[in-house]
Amino acid sequence: MRDLDEEQPGWWEDFRMVPMGFREVEVSRIIGSIGHGEEFRPDWAPFVSDERDRGLTDSFLARGFDSNESNQSPITLVEYSGEFYVEADGHRRVSVAHQLKLRALEAEVFNLERKELFTR
């Protein structure tokens, strides 16, 4: 899976995260991770599946997808060049959304903007 830390090394030094609020994001546009890319295959299937994955899948199939399943913190996405990366919490929920071929999910979105734009 793509990892923003590998694609844009040192991004946190050049960019700042600007909150854009909660919004619905197409699952197909969530293409990677920040710092956890080695845990999932390019199709978002985890390299090691565990009970949490099966439990999430079963829950979503039975009750519908809730991107904030089990009162966890919201999925946090960072938008960079029109694509989204999972920033912290929510990798497994996004993995299940990809596997179930869901169209969209709600997430807290941050946009990356160059710091130099704000130093003037």
Predicted confidence (pLDDT) per residue in 54-111, tens digit: 666 666 666 666 555 555 678 999 999 899 999 987 888 898 889 888 899 899 999 9
Say yes or no to pLDDT of 28 above 70: yes
pLDDT number for residue 60: 64
Residues in CB range of 35: below 8 A, 6 or more apart = 3, 5
Architecture of the domain whose range is 2-118: Alpha-Beta Complex (3.90)
